Chain A
Amino acid sequence: MLLLTPLLWRMTQAESHPPKTVEVKPPIDAQKIQLVITFTSAPERVSIVHLGQAVWSKHAPESQEEFSLKLPWPREGGELKFKVEWADETPLSAMRVQLTDPADNEIERSLWGKGTVERVLNFP
C-alpha cells in the first residue's frame, strides 16, 4: 500500500489540476490590401502566395496590374511570395510592387531577374 502512495498522489493531483489551455489570440480578420505591380518587360505569368496559400495569379499580365486582395494582415505587416516567369529570351527585367496596407501605409519593393524568379518580399 505504501508503494502505491506516490502513484495515488499523482493521480489525484492530475484530477484536481486539469491541464491549462493556451489563450490563443483570435485569428486576424481578412483586410483589404491594395497592390500595383509594374514590369519593365511583361512576364508570361505571375503568381502570389501568402502564408503558404496561392492568393492571386495571372497569365500574360499587362505591364501594369492593379488589384486588391483580402488577406489576414496583422499590424506587424507580412510577406508575399512572388513567382514571376519571364520568357527565356527576355533580358534582365524588374518588377516593382506598391502595396497599400489596411492602415493606408504605402510600401514599395522590387525584384530583378531573368527566366523564372521566386522571391519573398517583406511589407514593411
Chain B
Amino acid sequence: MKSFRLFLLFLLTPVLACVGAEKIRVSTFSSVLTEVAQQVGGDRVEVIGHVKPGSDPHDFEPKPSDLRAVANAQLVLLSAKHMEGYVGKLEEATGTKGVIIHVGDQFPSLKLSVQHGDHSHDGEDPHWWHSIRNIARATKIVRDELVKLSPSDKTTFTANASGYLAKLEKLDAWVKSKVAELPRDKRKLVTNHDAFGYFAREYNFTVMPIAGLSKNNQPGSKKTAEVIQAIKAAGVKAVFSEDVANPKVIQEIARGTGAKFGGSLLSDGLGNGDRGTIEGMFKHNVGTIVDALK
C-alpha cells in the first residue's frame, strides 16, 4: 500500500508542478512596457503586447481579440498620461478582474500646450519612455505589481528587475557618452511631432517640433513658414522624420531651410529588427541624432 502511494505521488508530481507554475497573464498597451514586463516577469509571466513594435499607439484601437485577452489578464499595463483614449471602454467592455496599472501616471509629466482647432490648453506629454530614468521607474512599478500578484515569486522578480535596472544604467551611460560628442549649442532637435521632450530634458537638447503631440495634427503653411524661419535662425544642421509619420512635411522643411534630412527616429515605441528593444531604440535614435548634427 505504501509503495502504491509513493508510486501515485511520483505520477502526480509533474502535474502538481505545472499547476504551481501557472504563468501570470499580462496585457500591455505599449511596446516599451511589453519588454519591461517580459524582463521582470521572465518565465513566470505570459505577456501579450497589444500595441506591436513599429505601430502607432496614438492611432491604436483595440480589436475583439484584444478585448478577450484583457478580460482574461491578471495585470493590464497602460502607458497612461492620456495615451490610451480607449481605456474607459476597455474596462467597461471587458469587465476584467485584472489589476489595471496606469504606469505613466505614477511619475511626473512634462506639461505642454495642446492645440485643438482654434484654441489651446495645457496637457501632459505622454512620451515618457524617451527618458531612461522613467523606464527604470516603470520597471520598479511592474516589479511591485507582479510581487503583489505572486508573493512567492518575489525573489525571482526582484532579481530580474535588479538585472534589468543595471542594464538600463549601462544604456544611460552609453547615451550620455554619445551625446557628449555633440556640443550643446548644436543640440537642436527638429522632428515631425512633439515626442522628444523627455529626451531633451535628460540630455540637454532643445526641441523644435513641427506639429503638436499627435502626428495627425499637421501644421498649416503659416506654422511651417515660422518653423523654417526658426530653423534658419538657429542654424540647425539636420532635421528628422519619425518611423510612423509621413516624412513629406519634414522633407519640405529640409528643402526650405537647406538643412539636411538626418534620418528617421523611433518616437512612439519600439521598432522592428535591431530596433525592437529599448536598447535598440535608444542606440538607433541617439546614433542618428548625434551623427547628423555633429
Contacts and interface: CB of A to CB of B under 8 A. Distances in A.
Q: Do A and B come from one complex?
A: yes
A106 interface: no
Contacts of B181: 51-52
B183 A72 contact: yes
A43 to B, nearest CB: 19
A1 interface: no
A25 to B, nearest CB: 4
A22 B183 contact: no
* Interface SS, A side: loop
Interface residues of A, number: 25
Contact of A51 (B176, B180, B235): B180
B209 interface: no
Give the most central of A49, A118, A120: most B CB within 10 Å: A120
Nearest to B172: A120
Contacts of B89: none
B68 interface: no
B228 to A, nearest CB: 10
Interface residues of B, number: 22
B182 to A, nearest CB: 7
Interface in A1-58: 19-25, 28, 49-52
A79 B176 contact: yes
A79 B242 CA distance: 28
A50 B182 CA distance: 9
Interface in A54-77: 72, 74-77
Contacts of B236: 22
18 contacts: A20-B256, A20-B257, A22-B236, A22-B237, A22-B260, A23-B235, A24-B235, A24-B237, A25-B185, A49-B180, A51-B180, A74-B185, A76-B187, A77-B204, A78-B184, A79-B184, A118-B173, A120-B180
Given A20-B258, A75-B185, A79-B184, 7 more contacts: A20-B255, A22-B260, A24-B235, A28-B185, A76-B204, A78-B183, A78-B184
The 8 A-B pairs with the shortest beta carbon distances in the complex, nearest first, are: A20-B258, A76-B184, A74-B185, A25-B235, A120-B176, A79-B180, A52-B181, A22-B258
